[in-house]
Amino acid sequence: MKGTIEQNSSRCQWNSHDRGERDPRYGGVRHRHQTSPLWRKRITLQDITIRDWFDSWRQLIVDVDYDKARTMFAPDVVGFGTYMRLVRGIDELENEQWRSIWGRITEFRFDLDSMVTGTSDDNLTGWGLCLWTSTGYTENGTPFERPGRSTVLLNRSDVDQPWQAIHTHLSLVPGTPPRTFGLPPAG
């Protein structure tokens, strides 16, 4: 089943090399022409399934649900992260990256309005990139904004199958503190 939805992708273009309005959430600069009709994109059903994949992963990050998140990733996934430089395989991704971050942040969300997606002609490979935000915590528990960027490469064996991530790259916006220690214990 194919379909398209018209969407104004007005907030998806940020570039620190352009001279435009600063967006403090992401440390980037908005293109002057971002509201141009040229930035209107026809969103396909496949684009929507990629957006849904990101939204599902976001909820699992918020819930700190490693087991369900693992099902969204290929066993041989390769990733770059905000904590680890390079991880190979789902076990390493979970143990070395996710477990070092997810329980130590709050208010994680992908900015789906900034999302750019694409798929191969056979719709078996796809990708999505977007901005994200979360709240991190200093060693003494002081909260700070933790903005970043994400790119995910997805694959599936059939168009009726769910996407599985085969590569992830999440990075912090330059200047963001690299470590987060989590909320201080209550009491």
The amino acid at residue 107 is: E
SS (H, E, C) 58-114: HHHHHHCCHHHHHCCEEEEEEEECCCCCCEECHHHHHHHHHHHHHHHCEEEEEEEEE
Rounded CA-CA distance 118/112 in Å is 14
Domain total of the chain: 1
Mean pLDDT of 93-104: 96
Q: For residue 177, is it within any domain?
A: no
Q: Regarding predicted confidence, which is higher, 115 or 45?
A: 115
Q: For residue 103, is it within any domain?
A: yes
Domain extent, residue 125, equals 43-172
Q: For residue 26, is it within any domain?
A: no
Q: For residue 25, is it within any domain?
A: no
Structure tokens at 113: 């309005």
DSSP reduced 3-state for 181: coil
Q: For residue 187, is it within any domain?
A: no
Report the pLDDT value the prediction gives residue 184, as an integer from 0 to 100.
81
Q: For residue 31, is it within any domain?
A: no
Pairing of strands 22-23, 125-137: unpaired
The amino acid at residue 26 is: Y
The domain spanning residue 159 has which CATH number? 3.10.450.50
Residue 16: closest CA among 173, 130, 129, 144: 173
Of 31-45, 103-117, 160-174, the range with the lowest mean pLDDT is: 31-45
Q: For residue 28, is it within any domain?
A: no
Mean pLDDT of 108-136: 97
Q: For residue 23, is it within any domain?
A: no
